[in-house]
């Protein structure tokens, strides 16, 4: 079913979201600081409420199906964006980015991500419109990504040091220290780049890789470019504050990658079923649709996404608590009891 939304709502939504992002960007660059837990919590809550209000407006102006598609898409992108945070933590630590300026780095990364995903969304929409078999490709790619996500070792890839960054290190003069959030600084009377350039490129290329996963995933939930893009915007807008809110908690979410892998695998299977149901490939069932292939509805998808993230998060926190208890118990056993002298 095609999305029926007033044009003024679509244009107005994009204008408002752009204004919010610009305001957020100005706040970050005007007053660089490390947000408190309270500040980060309020911002995350603000963006979550904003997304829920947007879903409510879609329910009123369109129908429950499309509101559900937005919620499922937003939660999928949000869960995949949390996976981004692990890599961001590695990049920040690898390049020793001053904590005071990490907000600016994250904000630039978010803008880069939105631009890249906007391009991929347009390309994906065109591919889906002209080549229905692309769902087979998307589904297979997501299944492969899910397996890789589940079995990959923690430090298997060096996310911060890729080919582009190694090239820049060899061919461009880069200072050894940061100069605030500046991209260029003056050393011995000569203008050279600061490590901030490398950090921005590391964040940008990381976002490019994650966009390759997230865009096929959300197209498995809805084919509306408007819903796909707005779900991405809402998921990414609160990412910066979530980074500071979660902090060290990210390291404790050991099973989160399995929850994300399950979501990717589920959507991959859903895409393959959809491709079979609407099949036009001649060597599959003679080019006719496969009747037994089920169509997984939006609300089932929403339930699987929420359930997967909840189970992975709860299991991770329970394991972290159990491990902490064991460490404390072991420490007590290792501390020798005080010796008493015989009188």
Question: How do residues 124-180 score in pLDDT, each as one tens digit?
Answer: 888 887 777 888 888 888 888 888 888 876 544 444 455 667 777 777 888 878 887
Tokens of 8: 């003024």
Q: What is the pLDDT of residue 188?
A: 78
Measured CA to CA, the distance from residue 302 to residue 154 in angstroms comes to 28
Overall average pLDDT of the 242-253 stretch: 72
For 209, residues 6+ apart whose C-beta sits below 8 A from its C-beta are: none
Distance of CA 117 to the CA centre of its chain: 11
Which helix (H) or strand (E) segment holds residue 68: the answer is helix 64-94
pTM of the model: 0.76
DSSP state of 193: E
The string of pLDDT tens digits covering residues 49-96 is 999 999 999 999 888 888 999 999 999 888 887 777 777 777 787 788
Per the CB < 8 A criterion, the answer to whether 70 and 54 are in contact is yes
CB 153: neighbour CB atoms within 10 A? 6
Tell me the CA distances in angstroms from 150 to 19, 146, 156, 186, 263, one per residue in order: 38, 6, 12, 45, 11
3-state DSSP percent of the chain in helix, strand and coil, to 5: 75, 5, 25
Residue 343: band (very low, low, confident or very high) from pLDDT cuts 50, 70, 90: very low
Q: Cα dihedral angle (85, 89, 94, 95), rounded to 10 degrees?
A: 90
Look-up: residue for tokens 């197209």? 219
Measured CA to CA, the distance from residue 132 to residue 119 in angstroms comes to 19
Distance of CA 316 to the CA centre of its chain: 19
Q: In this structure, is the dihedral angle defined by the CA atoms of residues 322, 251, 217 and 269, taken in order, positive or negative?
A: negative
The string of pLDDT tens digits covering residues 179-233 is 877 888 888 778 888 888 888 888 877 777 777 777 888 888 888 889 999 998 8
Phi/psi of residue 114, each to 5°? -65, -40
Tell me the CA distances in angstroms from 307 to 51, 125, 150, 304, one per residue in order: 19, 28, 17, 5
Overall average pLDDT of the 5-25 stretch: 87
């Amino acid at each position: 079913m095609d999305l029926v939304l007033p044009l003024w709502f679509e244009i107005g939504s994009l204008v408002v979201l752009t204004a919010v992002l610009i305001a957020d960007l100005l706040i970050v660059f005007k007053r660089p600081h490390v947000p408190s837990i309270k500040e980060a919590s309020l911002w995350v809550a603000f963006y979550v409420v904003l997304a829920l209000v947007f879903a409510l407006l879609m329910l009123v102006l369109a129908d429950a199906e499309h509101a559900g598609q937005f919620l499922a898409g937003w939660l999928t992108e949000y869960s995949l964006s949390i996976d981004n945070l692990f890599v961001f933590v590695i990049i920040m630590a690898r390049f020793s980015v001053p904590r005071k300026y990490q907000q600016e780095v994250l904000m630039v990364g978010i803008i880069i991500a939105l631009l890249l995903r906007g391009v991929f969304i347009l390309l994906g929409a065109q591919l889906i419109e002209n080549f229905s078999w692309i769902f087979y490709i998307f589904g297979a790619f997501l299944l492969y990504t899910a397996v890789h996500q589940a079995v990959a070792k923690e430090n298997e890839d060096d996310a911060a040091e890729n080919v582009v960054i190694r090239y820049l290190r060899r061919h461009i003069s880069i200072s050894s220290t940061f100069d605030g959030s500046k991209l260029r600084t003056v050393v011995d009377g000569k203008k050279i780049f600061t490590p901030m350039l490398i950090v921005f490129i590391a964040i940008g290329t990381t976002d490019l890789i994650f966009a390759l996963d997230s865009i096929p995933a959300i197209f498995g939930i809805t084919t509306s470019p408007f819903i796909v893009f707005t779900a991405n915007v809402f998921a990414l807008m609160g990412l910066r504050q979530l980074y500071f809110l979660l902090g060290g908690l990210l390291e404790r979410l050991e099973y989160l990658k399995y929850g994300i892998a399950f979501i990717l695998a589920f959507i991959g299977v859903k895409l393959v079923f959809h491709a079979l149901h609407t099949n036009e490939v001649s060597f599959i069932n003679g080019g006719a649709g496969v009747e037994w292939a089920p169509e997984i509805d939006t609300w089932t998808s929403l339930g699987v996404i929420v359930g997967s993230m909840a189970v992975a998060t709860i299991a991770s926190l329970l394991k972290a608590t159990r491990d902490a208890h064991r460490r404390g118990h072991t420490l007590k056993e290792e501390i020798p009891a005080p010796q008493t002298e015989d009188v």
